[in-house]
Amino acid sequence: MHSLIFDCPRTGQAIDSAINTDIEAIAGFCDLRVDVTCPHCGRQHRLPIKRGYFVPFASTAPARQLRQPHASEATNHSPR
């Protein structure tokens, strides 16, 4: 799955269209225009799908931080 992202024609910032689809599934609709409400300039943009771009729809999962195991402490400093 991919998210369809547009660039705001006024501010150039990315707008998430909330359309999640596969590139193959939407390939036949690239001339279709969608209305997106822009969070950046507050307007509604009617943009053709071919103006958008896809990003992998994976960012909803929280990034899991790998815990680094503490390799045996207190053996690193050499006593004299």
- Paired sense of beta strands 44-48 and 33-37, if any: antiparallel
Q: Does 14 bind Zn ion (CB under 5 A)?
A: no
| Residue 4: exposure state from Cβ atoms within 10 A (0-12, 13-18, ≥19) | buried
Q: Is 10 in the site for Zn ion (CB under 5 A)?
A: yes
Instruction: Considering the complex, state which of residue 43 and residue 50 has its C-beta at the smaller distance from Zn ion.
Output: 43
Query: Should residue 44 be labelled a site residue for Zn ion when binding is judged by CB under 5 A?
Result: no
Based on CB atoms, which residue is closest to Zn ion, 34 or 38? 38
Give the separation between CA 29 and CA 48, rounded to whole angstroms: 9
Binding site for Zn ion (CB under 5 A): 8, 10, 38, 40-41
